[in-house]
Amino acid sequence: MINNKTIFYHFLAVFTIIIWGTTYVSTKILINKGLSPVEILFYRFLIAYLSILFISHGKRRADNYKDEFWLFVCGLSGGSLFFMAENTAVGITLASNVSLLICTSPLFTVLLSSLIYKTSIRKKTLWGSLIALLGVALVVYNGNCVFHINPAGDALTIIASILWAVYCLVLKKLTLKYETLFITRKVFFYGVLSLCFYLLFYPLEIKTDLLRQPVIWGNLLFLGLIASMLCYIMWNFAIKKLGASKTANYIYMVPFSTILTSAVFLEETITFISLAGALCIIAGVYIAEKQPKLQVA
């Protein structure tokens, strides 16, 4: 239940989702201009890491190797592997499939929390999640039943969804011992480091002519400073105060944010079906949040 003590952190989660909903538009602009998804991800995380390094540079390592390993896991599950799985999936299956399946992450968060931490699953949590997922389907498909199964692409999307659930759960444990800024910095560090290993096999082509264009570096700065550094800090704070499962429910609102942004910047039409889907999302999140749910001890 939302109360005066937690309302600020609910606001952080919602504001983060609103910004993340706009990243699809920004990324689409960059791809149309000639940057590859991996290039965008590398520049995005590098900008985020260098930026947060200015405000969080005191503590260099975790207190022990075990915690450092879990920070590495966060860098993979919430960073490089997550985005690479999602971006690769977009290339081989329908974007609408990805938009829908990636929103199964809150369900995986609940299920994994139940399996790992032995927490109980409340009926209102599941019902709220299913109603919100129905709303996501209405928003994504907008009345067009074009869900075509692509085993490889859809499986990659599910993997990305599970990776984000792992990130949220591991993050909740780490926030009990470490400052949010330190954790966020390490997430970007290991995200960039793991991408460097990928770039050893698929070298990065620095397109200086493109990087000079204001539309390119403007969108990269937005993705790096706002959508990555600032949003990861806000999301991590929300998880620390609200819990992994409760915060993860706001993922359902990403497609809703995306259609609003697309209507403003790409002049796409908002239909009655998409509005109905948005109402289902809001109702589902409300039902799921109505009573205390899973918390990671």
Q: Report if residue 297 sits inside a domain.
A: no
Could you give the CA distance from residue 177 to residue 125 in angstroms, rounded to a whole number? Answer: 28
Residue 154 has pLDDT above 50, yes or no: yes
Q: Over the chain, what is the mean pLDDT?
A: 80
The residue to which tokens 């081989």 are assigned: 92
DSSP secondary structure string for all residues of 239-256: HHHH-HHHHHGGGGGHHH
Fill in the amino acid letter for 287.
Answer: I
Contact, 42 vs 204, CB < 8 A? yes
Query: Could you tell me the two tokens for 65?
Result: 């190797």
Find the domain containing 164 and state its range.
7-289
Is 113 among the domain residues? yes
- Closest of 22, 11, 76 to residue 257, by C-alpha: 22
Q: Is residue 184 domain-resident?
A: yes
The whole-angstrom separation of Cα 297 and Cα 293 is 12
The 10s digit of each residue's pLDDT in 61-105 is 999 999 999 999 999 999 999 988 887 776 676 665 676 677 778
Q: Give the integer Cα–Cα distance in Å for 81 and 198.
A: 10
Question: Rounded CA gap, 283 and 297, in Å?
Answer: 28
In a domain, 2, yes or no: no
| Helices within 118-179 (DSSP H only) | 123-141, 151-174
Q: Is residue 296 part of a domain?
A: no
Residue 119 lies in a domain: yes
Q: Is residue 12, in this structure, part of any structural domain at all?
A: yes
Count of domains forming the chain: 1
- Which SS3 state, helix, strand or coil, does residue 165 take? helix
Model pLDDT for residues 155-187, shown as the tens digit of each residue: 888 898 889 999 999 998 899 899 999 999 999
How many DSSP H helices and E strands does the chain contain?
15, 0
pTM for this predicted structure: 0.80
Confidence of residue 294 (pLDDT cuts 50, 70, 90): very low
- For residue 196, being part of any structural domain is answered with yes
